[in-house]
Structure 1
Amino acid sequence: MRLLLRLRQSLRLSKLTTTLIVCDLFLLPVLLYSESEHGHNNKRSVTELRSLVDQLNSARLTDALQYIRNLNASHSQSFYKKTNRAQPKLDLVVSIPTVSRSGHSKLGYLTQTAVMFDRLLKKDNHFGGKMMFICNTDQTPNAHWDAALLKDYLPYTQLFGSSTSEGVPLLENVSNYRKGHANKYAQETSDYMFCLETALRYKSKYILMAEDDALPREELLTTLYYLLRKQEGLSSSEETRKRRPFFLIKLYYPERWLGYANEFPRIVELVGIVAFGWGLFALLFSFCWRRTYCETVIVATLGGACFLLLSLLLGRQKIMELRRISSHLYLVRTAPDCCTPAILYRTGSVNKLINYLSQGTYDSTRPLDIAIAEYSRASNQSSLYMEPNLFRHIGMYSSLGKGPKDPSYFLFH
């Protein structure tokens, strides 16, 4: 009798072990790949990583230049002219503020960004009227290599000089933006205001301000359309009209700050992952091996712990990538103060924002993103951001004259 009981317990233990081994074998390759990739990058020197980032950037630039060479300049310009004339009020205007990077003139950030927007806008079927323009704020505009290359192919305006494409609005008070500024943050804010006010003249429902090193992802416009329809509606739903309208939505936030942290929303995410793992293991164990309630709970708890450990080792950034499966799975949350690479504005409050920014003082403690966040709080307006990001930041070399950034943040194709 004792022998039978021992055999039975042994059989139960082997089934328990088998369940865990099968699940671990399923999850282990994902973990090993992530860790090997991370370890491989850690073994490389900063110089090697920068060289690799430059190679990846050159490959993207080559592809963008090939696109430009195949583009008919007059046909490309006429696409935007017809759109502007056919739609008295647009749905979306994309403004790309740009300035040359001292000592790094042939990086081609603007070319990559503008070409990607051109591709997306010309094949988009969601937004009605849409427009884009390059906003060159360089004090010597013709010395900005990218902008000089693109101005014949895409709508273009510049702060200094008078080279502006047909259909792009001209500002009467441009002299206010041309005056000198005390520091680089004040200059950056002034340039941003010029491009934002120019976009405002189109009388569009939304303005997307995308810096020249913010590369849009393929799913940008599709996801953005469903987001806007959900938030306040391009539709005429009464339910969406009753919602409090947002002021802005940030479409990029640095990946290194998107990990798990001691913050309530992210702790809730971890609890959800544990609950999912618990339920999955409980279902698998009870379905495959009909055992007691106690045994099922033990296996499910171990499974939940396994999912928790795996999530922490992989990192939240990789887990969030699963949300790209559908445009409806993206998260919308209250926006942090940082940053400005890609921001979507509702035009209703943009004039007030410009007035607020024009009255501020800017130094190392109050750059543009902090000033925008201050306005949002002062005016009690809703500022949001999306996860995962709809843009990639490709600017390892800053336009503010700072040294190269950590190259590990720019390793993508």
Structure 2
Amino acid sequence: MSSRCLHRVTTLIGAYVRRLVASVRRWKSFMYLYLVVFLVVLPLMCHDTPNSVYFYRRRNVSEAKRRIQLDNDARLNWSVNYLEMLNRTQDIPEARIASGNDARVDVAITVVTVSRNRQLVDSYRPRYLSQVVAKLLAYWRDAKVQGFRYNVSFSICNVDGDPDSYTEAQSLSSVIGIFNRFKERSISLTFSREKEKEDYVFCINQTFAIYDPRYVFVIEDDALPTKNMFPVLQHVIGRHLDRTFVQGRLVANTDDVTYVKFFHPKWLLGYYSLEPERILGLLAFGCVCGTLLLGVYWHQKRNISNSDLYIAWFLLITFTILVAIVIDRSNLVWLRSLFGPDFYSYVPAPSCCTPAMLFPKRGASRVIDYLSRVKCSQYLGKDSILEQYVQKFGTKAYLVEPNTFTHIGFYSALHHNLVDPGQLE
């Protein structure tokens, strides 16, 4: 009896092994595809791609800091030369104080700044503000040539406690308007997060008071614009804020939009956040790319059975989903910037971070009032209060992807410490 059972078991195991071997032989091309792509191709391609699974992060902080400073020096050198050219030729952009006194300002761009040069890092002065202002003015000039249709004003909101000693900001007054929060040297005893929020409120209020714009675009002084910033801004205002598509027609937008973010840290843009639209996007990417690959596979093996075709489809969808995950969503989203503003996505804004924020006038007064009433704490910054407002009052907030700004600040003015170099990748 026992020998009969043993024979039956060995027969079943043998049959299973034969089927397994046959299956491996039948799908060995997929096994090779997975092995070659994930163990050879992607590691070679992505070892220097930030946020990918294969990214070799530089653990040497000194080397990372040196590389960041070299990049900063190159940008700063270009910025200084450009600003000197503006001063030398007096070719100041028309939008310096507005777009002319006879035209209403559509977008008032305000750069919020505080001196970082006093908190010297190895006696190094990064001068982020000069870089941001130079890039804004240069890209604005390019945008006008390309037909940018909105009137824009530029200004610096200096919230430094000792405004007169902030020489970098003062030196830029010849090319851009500037207003100070403090008239003279002031020592603030306010909690740092609370002061940052109060500075933010002051800058928005002053910008509305001076220019009376339809939108205020608040940019922090270590948020460097990219060349797509103005084209994307025009697209967002024209196709999402002023007007929007409803059933294929462009109509006036009645949504209560509190703000639009133009930057979100790349390391927070991955699929692991489990936000519904990102998971749906991942599945859609897998289905579309997997189906395209299936078409290529079917073209090579036309005699494949329907059951095998479904298995191949599943394997290819899984393959493309895994490829997307290991490359990282932030790097895939960046590809949209290669095809112009129409390919940028406009999605519900996640929490965190305010380097570049567009506030429509119709909703700004209420959110500013709310910011003024709610106090910041160690774990409650102004970005969390803004998100709290949106959730409490049912308004809308959006994020434009990919980013139209890059974060270049190696030194945090809020926390008074060095930023993790990995967050600047």
Please report the TM-score for the alignment, with normalisation by the length of structure 2: 0.81
Q: Tell me by how many angstroms 1:30 deviates.
A: 4.9
Contact 1:77 1:155 (8 Å CA) reproduced: no
Contact 1:127 1:225 (8 Å CA) reproduced: yes
Structure-2 residue corresponding to 1:121: 140
Structure-2 residue corresponding to 1:95: 110
Q: Which of 248, 251, 274 pairs up with 1:240?
A: 251
Q: Distance in 1 between matches of 2:28 and 2:90?
A: 66
Q: Which of 205, 212, 224 pairs up with 2:214?
A: 205
Structure-2 residue corresponding to 1:329: 343
Q: Distance in 2 between matches of 1:186 and 1:115?
A: 30
Residue ranges of structure 2 left out of the alignment (5+ in a row):
1-23
Q: Tell me by how many angstroms 1:273 deviates.
A: 2.1
Matched, 1:280 2:280: no
Structure-1 residue corresponding to 2:239: 230
Distance verdict in 2 for CA 1:305–1:221, change over 3 Å: same
Matched, 1:258 2:273: no
Greater CA deviation, 296-305 or 107-116? Answer: 296-305
Give a deviation string over 1:48-96, Cα, whole Å, max 9, x none. Answer: 1122112211111111111112113673446225853254312211000
Give a deviation string over 1:5-55, Cα, whole Å, max 9, x none. Answer: xxxxxxxx9997668868987896455221355667435412211221122
Matched, 1:192 2:200: yes
Q: Distance in 2 between matches of 1:361 and 1:232?
A: 30
Give the letter aligned to residue 50 of structure 1.
K
Give the letter aligned to residue 130 of structure 1.
V
Contact 1:96 1:212 (8 Å CA) reproduced: yes
Distance verdict in 2 for CA 1:355–1:274, change over 3 Å: closer
Contact 1:137 1:158 (8 Å CA) reproduced: yes
Residue ranges of structure 1 left out of the alignment (5+ in a row):
1-12, 163-177
- Identity, in percent, stands at 22
Contact 1:19 1:285 (8 Å CA) reproduced: no
Structure-2 residue corresponding to 1:62: 77
Give the letter aligned to residue 96 of structure 1.
V
Distance verdict in 2 for CA 1:47–1:222, change over 3 Å: same
Instruction: Work out the number of aligned pairs and report it.
Output: 386
Q: CA RMSD in A?
A: 3.1
Instruction: Give 1:306-321 correspondences, 5 Å limit.
Output: 306-321=319-334
Structure-2 residue corresponding to 1:352: 366
Greater CA deviation, 246-255 or 270-279? Answer: 270-279
Q: Tell me by how many angstroms 1:357 deviates.
A: 2.3
Structure-2 residue corresponding to 1:219: 228
Contact 1:230 1:240 (8 Å CA) reproduced: no
Q: Distance in 2 between matches of 1:298 and 1:81?
A: 62
Structure-2 residue corresponding to 1:147: 169
SS in 2 for 1:85: coil
Contact 1:73 1:152 (8 Å CA) reproduced: no
Q: Tell me by how many angstroms 1:382 deviates.
A: 1.0
Which of these two proteins has the greater Rg computed from alpha carbons? 2
Q: Tell me by how many angstroms 1:161 deviates.
A: 3.2
Contact 2:244 2:250 (8 Å CA) reproduced: no
Q: Distance in 2 between matches of 1:365 and 1:40?
A: 31
Q: Distance in 2 between matches of 1:376 and 1:75?
A: 44
Distance verdict in 2 for CA 1:78–1:218, change over 3 Å: closer
Q: Which of 38, 45, 51 pairs up with 1:33?
A: 45
Contact 1:258 1:317 (8 Å CA) reproduced: yes
Q: Which of 43, 63, 66 pairs up with 1:51?
A: 66
Give the letter aligned to residue 127 of structure 2.
G
Q: Distance in 2 between matches of 1:343 and 1:266?
A: 22
Structure-2 residue corresponding to 1:297: 310
Q: Distance in 1 between matches of 2:55 and 2:299?
A: 40
Structure-2 residue corresponding to 1:408: 422
Matched, 1:136 2:147: no
Give a deviation string over 1:345-385, Cα, whole Å, max 9, x none. Answer: 10112222332222232221322112222333333321111
Distance verdict in 2 for CA 1:36–1:340, change over 3 Å: closer
Greater CA deviation, 231-240 or 44-53? Answer: 231-240
Q: Distance in 2 between matches of 1:394 and 1:219?
A: 17
Q: Tell me by how many angstroms 1:183 deviates.
A: 1.1
Q: Distance in 1 between matches of 2:369 and 2:55?
A: 49
Structure-2 residue corresponding to 1:109: 128
